[in-house]
Amino acid sequence: MGTPSESLDAALGQALAAVDANEAIALTRRWVEINSYTANVEGVNRVGAMLREAFALPSLSGQSIPGGDGYGDHLVWRTAAPGAPIMLVGHHDTVFPPGHFEGWRESDDGRATGPGALDMKGGLAVIRGALVALEKAGLLAKLPIVIVSVAEEEVGSPTSKPHLEALAKGARCGLVFESGRAADAIITRRKGVGAMTVTARGKAAHAGNNHKDGANAIWALAKFVDAAQRMTDYARGCTVNVGMFNGGTSKNTVPETASCMLDLRYETVADAHALVESLRAAARDAAIPGVTLEVSGGANRLPLERTPASAELRDAYAACARDEGLGDGEAALLGGGSDANTMAPLGVPVIDGLGPRGAGFHTTTEYVELATFAPKIRALVRFLGTLSTSST
């Protein structure tokens, strides 16, 4: 009779041998061929139904959470094993409306093009492929795993965020299967994303006959915009972009209302809070007699910050990636957010970009490298297998 370590090695070997990349690719194709643009709720939920079927494994119990507010349903699966959960996170919505970019096309160079092939139905297939292999080896039931696929990540996860926060609170770690980067670089840092709207309300008047009776909303808002744009600090990684500005009714009318919309990016949680407060203060300071400024919005997604714990997690996963012939480097800071940004501020160590490798996400040239499905699945099997003894 072998030692526990020998038994684990044997089970891990069995799991690695059970990896079926062809099945993962076939599932990805089926999911990609259904349009699941975020606002196409029927399509999103059709893909969700296919995912529920694919993840119907003996060791997993599933749950569907209504998205509401015009979004599809969010999906959760979990094992019954006790302990701090290992979060495996993805999304099943995509960015292109029906008729804009459709279908699955394979090329002779080993690539498949299609909406969501990379971002991130391929990533969901990697998760599923690893769990099936672990199930066959008798390891899945021993791991306290929670799998989440949300239905509106591409628009900032407005309805799924509180559910993911509740599920991830106290988690051991979080792995997010967004698009795999060049050379398989592992993501440990993402900027946070904020959005604010500022509305100025003044008093209309005829510009010729009663100019002095008016209160110019555009003037006040312009003062705010100048102050807001000056808050960009490239050295700190903070940017403010006033991307839209509207106001007034005619050139000979003192404008009664004006509004602008801002995009905010920041590298640290502290800078996120400081930037929002500074913008609110700038709105107060921009007020002129007869005009008030109203501010809404703030920090939608806090940043994914690199911590000692997330660096340790990256190193552990990178070792498994190396064993499968994958790259093991670390990605540079990214400007866009993901659901990794939701978990990290909870104190959960998180890494991202663990889906199959490819490029062109959010474009009509989005492709995935088919040969990377097998090593990505096997790397995840190895990583989860190393956790099985310490999670029971």
**Would you list the DSSP string of 220-237?**
HHHHHHHHHHTT-BTTTT
- Supply the pLDDT for residue 69: 87
- Supply the pLDDT for residue 388: 73
Residue 392 lies in a domain: no
- Supply the pLDDT for residue 392: 44
- Supply the pLDDT for residue 170: 97
Query: Are both 280 and 324 inside the same structural domain?
Result: no
Alpha-carbon separation of residue 277 from 159, 170, 224, 228 (angstroms): 25, 29, 14, 11
Query: Are both 135 and 45 inside the same structural domain?
Result: yes
- Supply the pLDDT for residue 3: 66
Query: Are both 280 and 308 inside the same structural domain?
Result: no
**CATH code for position 205:** 3.30.70.360
Boundary (domain end) residue, out of 301, 327, 357: 301
**Would you list the DSSP string of 193-211?**
EEEEEEEEE-B-EETTTSG
Query: Are both 48 and 121 inside the same structural domain?
Result: yes
**CATH code for position 180:** 3.40.630.10
- Supply the pLDDT for residue 133: 98
Residue 377 lies in a domain: yes
Boundary (domain end) residue, out of 265, 282, 301: 301
Residue 203 structural domain: 192-301
Query: Are both 144 and 65 inside the same structural domain?
Result: yes
pTM score of the predicted model? 0.91
CA distance 336 to 355: 17
| Count of structural domains, the chain | 2
CB-based contacts of 231, cutoff 8 Å, min separation 6: 238, 240, 275, 278, 279, 282
Residue 36 lies in a domain: yes
Q: Chunked in runs of 10, what are the mean pLDDT values of the chain (392 residues)?
A: 70 96 98 98 98 98 95 98 97 96 96 97 98 97 97 96 98 98 97 97 97 98 98 97 98 98 96 98 97 97 97 98 97 95 97 98 96 98 84 46
Query: Are both 140 and 29 inside the same structural domain?
Result: yes
